[in-house]
Amino acid sequence: MFPDDEALKTHTDILFTFDFPPMGGGIARWMEALATSHPSGTLVVSTGAVPGSQDFDAGCVSRIDRIAVSASRLRTIPGLAAWSHRAIRLASSPTVRFAWCGNVRPAIYPAFAAHRRRGLPFGVIVHGGDLLTLRERMRAGRWKRHLLRRMMGASSVFVANSSWTARACRDLLAELDIDADVRVVPPGTDPERFRPDRSAGDRFRVSRALPAGWWLVTVARLVPHKGIDTALHAVAELASSRPDLHYAVIGRGDDLGRLEHLAEELGIRDRVQFLTDVSDAELPSAYAMGDIYVGLSREHGIEVEGFGIALLEAAATGLPVVAGRSGGTSDAVEDGVTGRLVDPLSAAEAARTISSLLDDPEHAARLGLAGRERVIAELTWDAVVARLRSLGEEFGRQ
């Protein structure tokens, strides 16, 4: 059952989101952070039903309002209709001033319904790859273009996670002939949770029966655009001169089989650990095991790294970051200051950069320290929430 609307009297904003715990992924982590970092009683999260969500919902400072539709069905016509109906009810409270969409599709549908029926202003958070997908859909037919133009044209503001994503958003809006406000608000992380802790990293390594030595770490979905194959080639180039170099790939995805086969072909299977069962609670220790974080994301079809939350988590842990110069990673990594940006298609350049950091651990430590200091100063979740709440005040109903 839905909670009585009277219970919303202390809330001010709504977050419509498809991606939300216990789902995984970067967007879900971002939405979780918004829900847990908002001051108590200032946010309602509207999302779908997911098995096993009760414990998270009960412990969250924000009210989690799950509609009686499985999240897996939210993108269907009946699911969108139920979500839109609930959105209109939530927006009827006079204390609700603004709504956020966690992404364009499908969250813009309930937000647009609340806007049309209750006059609730809303903003849309865009991530990068979602914009490339929208462009493909928009060009697929006149009706999709018309519907997208109508809904996106009703948004008060778009929030992009990086300068690259902001440019992509403005290009899409221009193609739709929409004149809209686009602001950049990068995601954040929790430097209290992700922090330098070599002893925790060593305990994680020992618990997994992993050898001592130098460790490269990647935390990502196992999909082609994350560039893990390029990192494997880089490890292979370093193998003969670095007998104590190892590589931990942390995550799950459909590309696992291909990557395992590639590691075998390159003769480095004994150096590479594919850790597909690392829990959320273990993740900080898994980062802390590393000496260098490697995130060689690249543009691949309509997939791109709009920013890269994992790059921030690594920086907060004090790791120097070697990232692919692609998409919005230049906002996440300050080249030469908090890490190094390389050609994500060049295993040779990645290998040289990794080798230089291994040869100069003092320089590597300075990069890691600068990355952590930047996170603490600019890129915490509290800072993100403050920026979004400020935008809610600027564009919300009075």
**Beta carbons within 10 angstroms of residue 276's beta carbon:** 12
Q: Is residue 137's pLDDT more than 80? A: no
Rounded to whole angstroms, the Cα distance separating 361 from 187 reads 29
Rounded to whole angstroms, the Cα distance separating 244 from 215 reads 9
Q: Per the structure block, which two tokens stand in for 264?
A: 């075998």
Q: Is residue 319's pLDDT more than 90? A: yes
Rounded to whole angstroms, the Cα distance separating 18 from 27 reads 9
The pLDDT of residue 5 is 47
Q: Is residue 362's pLDDT more than 50? A: yes
3-state helix, strand, coil in the chain (%, to 5): 45, 15, 35
Mean pLDDT of 292-314: 92
In this predicted model, which residue has the larger pLDDT, 299 or 350?
350
The pLDDT of residue 10 is 54
Rounded to whole angstroms, the Cα distance separating 391 from 351 reads 42
pLDDT tens digit sequence for 193-246 = 999 999 999 999 999 999 999 999 999 999 999 999 999 999 999 999 999 999
The pLDDT of residue 79 is 95
| Domain range 5-188+380-395, CATH class | alpha beta
Mean pLDDT of 344-367: 97
The pLDDT of residue 41 is 87
CATH of 198-378, one of 3.40.1390.20, 3.40.50.2000, 1.10.1660.10, 3.30.980.10: 3.40.50.2000
**Beta carbons within 10 angstroms of residue 4's beta carbon:** 7
CB 312 within 8 A of CB 187: yes
Rounded to whole angstroms, the Cα distance separating 153 from 171 reads 14
Rounded to whole angstroms, the Cα distance separating 148 from 139 reads 11
Residues of the chain with CATH 3.40.50.2000: 5-188+380-395, 198-378
The pLDDT of residue 29 is 86
The pLDDT of residue 11 is 54
Q: Is residue 254's pLDDT more than 90? A: yes
pLDDT tens digit sequence for 15-62 = 999 999 988 777 888 899 999 999 988 999 999 999 989 988 998 999
Mean pLDDT of 105-110: 94
pLDDT tens digit sequence for 326-340 = 999 999 999 999 999
pLDDT tens digit sequence for 263-296 = 999 999 999 999 999 998 999 999 999 999 999 9
Rounded to whole angstroms, the Cα distance separating 121 from 144 reads 23
Give percent above pLDDT 70 in the chain.
Answer: 97
> Could you identify the residue written with the tokens 């180039």?
237
CB 11 within 8 A of CB 46: no
The pLDDT of residue 23 is 87
Confidence label for 262 from pLDDT (cuts 50, 70 and 90): very high
Q: Per the structure block, which two tokens stand in for 212?
A: 């001592």
Q: Is residue 138's pLDDT more than 90? A: no
> Could you identify the residue written with the tokens 């037919």?
141
Q: What is the pTM of this model?
A: 0.89
pLDDT tens digit sequence for 73-92 = 999 999 999 999 999 999 99
Rounded to whole angstroms, the Cα distance separating 157 from 176 reads 15
The pLDDT of residue 165 is 94
Rounded to whole angstroms, the Cα distance separating 179 from 150 reads 12
Q: Mean pLDDT for the chain?
A: 93
